[in-house]
Structure 1
Amino acid sequence: MALLMRIFATGMLLLFTIAGKADEQPDPQFEVTQVAPGLYMLSGVGGFVGGNIGLSIGPDGVVIIDDAMPPFLDKLTAKIKTVTQQPLDFLINTHVHGDHTGNNATLGKQGVRIVAHKNLRQHMVSKGIPGVDGVIDAPSEALPVITFSEEMTFYLNNNTANVFHVAHAHTDGDAVIHFRNLNVIHTGDVLFNGLFPFIDLQSGGSIDGYIAGQKQILAKADNGTKIIPGHGPLASKADLEAAISMLEETRDIVAKLVADGKSEEEVVKLNPLTKYEKWSWGFINTEGMTRQLYKGLKQAM
């Protein structure tokens, strides 16, 4: 897991810097996009800072969704202050990975109340937090103090925010946040917009669970829905539909080869996902996606 997360961070750094000059040193920053009244997306530009962050601001307080990685906390705090001077009240973690939970301990010490699926807390307690520098122990301040099994709802800032679980998708502790009256959904890493997804098979994720989770989200979307993905640009219903179609098609291609009794190396040599090259990025190219699908399908057998 530690190795996977280090490769993941390297891939994300490549994703955000690939358009820059080779001799430039990345200087990651946060960019703020207003998605709806009182609701913002904070994303990294110029380097990898972690997953896309949601921020709900209003008279009842501030709710942040995910919190990036420790080296970028000062930049994150400064960027938040450009849209509000209010302190953070609640932090919702979409899943356990350190690029989404890296600042839990610091924010927890500041009195921010952390909310997550019960499996995320259990993972932190029993296994620690997987991050780019390996798995680290989770201090008590980093742990969620409010957990849920299936769903819960925030009635804050004149919004109804439904937080619901999608089972065995990216991990076994994924949370998706649906701001119903704003028609905005934050998916966490159950959507990598325009990119091959990372499905953490070692942390309870699965291919079919990932697809089912995306379809749960799709059922709540319409043509006007704005979707904040775990990584990649702000998405639409059409983007989510494209992601589901790609994953179903690539799964079926590799599944047929698995059913034919081919080994992982034999399948990789065939390069069966060539037509999906446009979904490749620094961490997962067509070979990486083929291997991920093969391992996931074999694990499910």
Structure 2
Amino acid sequence: MRAGHGLLLAAASAVGIAAPASAQRDFSAVEIATTELGGGVYMLVGAGGNLGLSVGEDGAFLIDDQFAPLTDKITAAVAAVSDKPIEFVVNTHWHYDHTGGNENLGKAGAHIVAHDNVRARLKAGLDRGDGNVTPPSPDVALPVITFAHSLTFHWNGQTVQAVHPGATTKNHHAHTDGDAFVYFKEANVIHMGDVFFNGGFPFIDLASGGGLDGYIAAQEFALTLTNADTKIIPGHGPLAARSDLEASVAMLKEVRSRIAALIADGKTAEEIAAAKPLADLDAAWGQGFINAERMTGFAVASLMAAAHDH
């Protein structure tokens, strides 16, 4: 158990996800790229998690806000396609590369919206025990509207559903315990947050309530919301189609099958790591945040923790 958790901590530390390192990072060269998806919906890419945006007569509706030093660049990108202020910001989860702009946008008057657990985790902060510490967020950065299961906005001519995948899958442990999908029904666009790393192994944050089985279940739930024409905004990676999400589900099921078999054979976390059970998947899936070695650590820690809980 502890060995598996140690592998997870090492992997999380290696990628630096959720670490508030923006004070040391130079964002001066970052540019915000905007892609129009139809129906007044856009995908914005800068540094950190991909952003979603809806514009129209009601005002700008932003999904995630990356890092605090990028707020001016993000608001400029919004202003390039809308003359309205940012009225709502929906956080897909609590990680710093998705919520770092909350304080700035909250001060500017935006209403921040997220799952109940996002507010709780932002308010508490997290010390991962490896030098990776996220301090508690100030009150102005906290969501002022939270939900347990789902929330529907009728905004800019769209029916916009913010949905916690665990409410349907009965497994709240996906990327974190506070994930949200944001689905624009008429535009047929869904932002999946970090429950989808397009083209790569995912980061599964066990310390924030994440888990492999819930991650797979959440992706399968997302498939029920999509069709061949749906545009999918992943938390990281390029704009995706349903076929990309299907490939991710198949890959994760293969990962689970291999790791579960080794655990069932009585292998320890160290023995599983040494066996390199995902090495052949690395070329296709391990070139982003997470390589095969780190994905092995996530899977081992998650499945061992789940077995221990039962």
- Structure 2-normalised TM-score? 0.86
| Structure 1 residues 71-119: Cα deviation after superposition (integer angstroms, max 9, x where no partner) | 2222222222221232100000000000000010111111100000011
Q: Secondary structure at the match of 2:295?
A: helix
**Cα–Cα, structure 1 residues 5 and 271, in superposed 2: closer, same or farther, change >3 Å?**
closer
**Cα–Cα, structure 1 residues 39 and 129, in superposed 2: closer, same or farther, change >3 Å?**
farther
1:67–1:100 Cα contact (<8 Å) kept: yes
In structure 1, give the amino acid aligned to 2:267.
K
Q: Secondary structure at the match of 2:243?
A: helix
2:24 aligned residue: none
The structural deviation recorded for 1:275 is 2.2
**Cα–Cα, structure 1 residues 136 and 3, in superposed 2: closer, same or farther, change >3 Å?**
farther
1:218 aligned residue: 223
1:74 alignment partner, one of 58, 68, 72: 72
Does residue 288 of structure 1 match 2:272? no
2:45 alignment partner, one of 43, 46, 50: 43
Q: Secondary structure at the match of 1:75?
A: helix
> For the residues of structure 2 that align with 1:161 and 1:285, how far apart are their CA atoms?
34
Which has the bigger relative contact order, CA under 8 A and spacing at least 6? 2
**Cα–Cα, structure 1 residues 200 and 85, in superposed 2: closer, same or farther, change >3 Å?**
same
Aligned CA-pair RMSD:
2.2
> For the residues of structure 1 that align with 2:77 and 2:9, how far apart are their CA atoms?
29
The structural deviation recorded for 1:28 is 2.1
> For the residues of structure 1 that align with 2:91 and 2:242, how far apart are their CA atoms?
23
The structural deviation recorded for 1:281 is 2.3
The structural deviation recorded for 1:291 is 1.2
1:15 aligned residue: none
1:126 aligned residue: 124
The structural deviation recorded for 1:188 is 0.4
The structural deviation recorded for 1:8 is 2.5
Q: Secondary structure at the match of 2:180?
A: strand
The structural deviation recorded for 1:5 is 5.7
**Cα–Cα, structure 1 residues 84 and 92, in superposed 2: closer, same or farther, change >3 Å?**
same
> For the residues of structure 1 that align with 2:297 and 2:9, how far apart are their CA atoms?
18
Q: Secondary structure at the match of 2:204?
A: coil
What does residue range 89-168 of structure 1 map to in structure 2 within 5 Å? 89-127=87-125, 134-166=133-165, 167-168=172-173
Gaps of 5+ in 2: 1-7, 18-26, 166-171
The alignment covers a number of residue pairs equal to 283
In structure 2, give the amino acid aligned to 1:31.
A
**Cα–Cα, structure 1 residues 266 and 6, in superposed 2: closer, same or farther, change >3 Å?**
closer
> For the residues of structure 1 that align with 2:147 and 2:203, how far apart are their CA atoms?
24
1:61 alignment partner, one of 59, 77, 82: 59
Q: Percent identity?
A: 47
> For the residues of structure 2 that align with 1:123 and 1:271, how far apart are their CA atoms?
34
Does residue 182 of structure 1 match 2:187? yes
2:12–2:205 Cα contact (<8 Å) kept: no
The structural deviation recorded for 1:133 is 6.7
> For the residues of structure 1 that align with 2:245 and 2:286, how far apart are their CA atoms?
17
1:96–1:124 Cα contact (<8 Å) kept: yes
1:20 aligned residue: none
| Structure 1 residues 51-77: Cα deviation after superposition (integer angstroms, max 9, x where no partner) | 000010001111000000012222222
> For the residues of structure 2 that align with 1:7 and 1:147, how far apart are their CA atoms?
31
1:239 alignment partner, one of 244, 250, 253: 244
The structural deviation recorded for 1:27 is 2.5
1:129–1:137 Cα contact (<8 Å) kept: no
> For the residues of structure 2 that align with 1:299 and 1:213, how far apart are their CA atoms?
19
2:15 aligned residue: 8
**Cα–Cα, structure 1 residues 129 and 52, in superposed 2: closer, same or farther, change >3 Å?**
farther
Higher strand share: 1
In structure 2, give the amino acid aligned to 1:155.
H
